[in-house]
Amino acid sequence: MHATIGTRPDIVFAVAALSRYDVKPYHVHLTATKRVLRYLKVTADAKLVFPSMTSTEASPLVGYTNSDFAGNRADRKSQGGHIFKVYGASISWLSRNQELVAFFTTEAEYIACSDATREAEWLV
């Protein structure tokens, strides 16, 4: 989990999904964990890059948000997330199950947008 928080946003979803089964993992979860570890080994030299751009080339702060609808079959909660970029480089990201159960796709999107708006307020 430490690597996902500060340095590896590309594995956040996989680690979060696998951590739900850390108490009683099945063979499929161990196989997926090995796949994540292999991916980390192959991409060990990957890093965040902050390109040099002028203010006319890109917007200083850009945010994206999205969610699925009832993606978790166990409790019917939606997965929501957002990412914020400054001049094209990621500075903040989140992917997690939403706290509320949405009854419509629009409601799941609204919850994700609300979470992203709170993060944007904090960043600005």
Write the pLDDT tens digit of every residue in 63-92: 999 998 887 777 888 888 899 988 777 888
pTM of the predicted model, to two decimals? 0.63
pLDDT score recorded for residue 87: 77
Ranges of the chain whose pLDDT falls below 70: 1-6, 48-59
pLDDT score recorded for residue 79: 86
Q: Could you give the CA distance from residue 121 to residue 10 in angstroms, rounded to a whole number?
A: 24
Residue 65, number of CB atoms within 10 A of its CB: 20
pLDDT score recorded for residue 70: 82
| Cα–Cα nearest to 105, from 71, 81, 82, 55 | 71
| Cα–Cα nearest to 96, from 28, 12, 4, 22 | 12
